[in-house]
Amino acid sequence: MKKLIVIEGMDRSGKDTLIQSLIRTLPNCLVTHWGSAKGSTDAEKKANQQQFFADQMETWQYLQSSPIDPQHLIWNRAHLGEYVYGTIYRDTQPDTWVPQLEEEYLMGDNVYMIYLCGTPEFLLRNDDGESFTVDIAQKTQEANAFLEAFQKSRVNRKLLVVVDTVTDYRPKAEILDQVLRFINS
């Protein structure tokens, strides 16, 4: 079965590393990176995000009938990031429209959502300077919001993966193995 794999998580949680490992392991992957919602109102942001979802699904469906025929579509972030970062940093109300996008596009049996999480202290300590925040209170707020969004999500198949051992990242192979077992179950 062709699979849509959504990788979610805070900055420095290992999303790109996991995606690179999945590309090397899974056959025929197509990867796309979620951008922040464009627009100045929640209605505009919802419409733009809805169009993004629709475009991605249309592209995937087209490619499935082409010689490329990807078996796996991987989204580097999707709706949970917008739910968290839109609420905290962009003063929007994504909780009013993100669940509808999830309902429209992410409720199939071939959708697998993986949420990579670590302690705020660990993620902050390993920050590359490109994250939204370098403040522990805000990083904790982000972590709590991501966990809440993950728990509220109605995606049928979802997995929470802890990426740290408090002092270091868990081994990449161990995380990949956990994710592959989930995707192949």
Class of domain 3-183 (CATH, top level):
alpha beta
Rounded to 10 deg, the angle between the 42-64 and 79-89 helix axes is 160
List CB contacts of 171: < 8 A, sequence separation 6 or more.
Answer: none
Token pair 């082409």 is at which residue? Answer: 66
- The pLDDT of residue 38 is 67
> So where are the chain's domains?
3-183
Q: What is the pTM of this model?
A: 0.83
Helix/strand/coil percent split, the chain, to 5: 50, 15, 35
- The pLDDT of residue 16 is 92
- The pLDDT of residue 24 is 93
- The pLDDT of residue 75 is 86
| Residue 97 per-residue DSSP state | T
Question: What are the pLDDT digits (tens) for 136-172?
Answer: 898 899 999 999 999 989 999 999 999 999 789 999 9
Q: Which residues of the chain have pLDDT under 50?
A: none
Output the average pLDDT for the chain.
83
What is the spatial distance between Cα 60 and Cα 69, in angstroms, rounded to a whole number?
8
> Hey, what amino acid is at 57?
M
Round to the nearest angstrom and report the end-to-end CA distance of the chain.
Answer: 12
> Hey, what amino acid is at 86?
G
